[in-house]
Amino acid sequence: MNHDPSLATLCKALGHPARVAILRHLLQVDRCICGEIVNILPLAQSTVSQHLKQLKDAGLIRGEIEGPRICYCADKDRLTELKNLITAL
């Protein structure tokens, strides 16, 4: 969604423990997952979906439709970008 997010935008997306947990998990399992996240976190499905949307809007994760389910994976390039923005502070 957001093509060139600012440092504040990216940080805001990571400014909630649940979203950090989601990103960490996606990085661990490497390839995508989806409803699994709902099982891992103590949150309702709709809430998790909202967090996923925020991460996706910030470009930190991507979601691809894969049959009946949607598959998310972390965008490592965007993470590198974030790291660079902090370094360039």
Partner DNA sequence: CGGGCCTATCGTATTTTTACGATACACGAT
Partner DNA sequence: ATCGTGTATCGTAAAAATACGATAGGCCCG
Question: Which residues contact DNA by CB under 7 A?
Answer: 12, 15-16, 18, 34-35, 38, 42-47, 49-54, 63, 65, 67-70
- Segment contacting a copy of itself by CB under 8 A, of 18-26, 34-42, 43-51, 63-71: 18-26
- Dist CA 80 CA 33 (whole Å): 22
Instruction: State which residue, 71 or 87, has the beta carbon closest to DNA.
Output: 71
Stretch in the footprint of a copy of itself (CB under 8 A) among 2-10, 34-42, 45-53, 61-69: 2-10
Q: How many CB atoms lie within 10 A of CB 58?
A: 21
Is 29 a residue that touches a copy of itself (CB under 8 A)?
no
Query: How many angstroms separate the CA atoms of 27 and 21, rounded?
Result: 10
* C-beta neighbour count of 31 within 10 angstroms: 8
* 36: number of Cβ within 10 Å: 13
Q: Residue 47 — φ and ψ, nearest 5°?
A: -70, -45
Binding footprint of a copy of itself on the chain (CB under 8 A) = 6-8, 11-17, 19-20, 23-24, 27, 79, 82-83, 86-87, 89
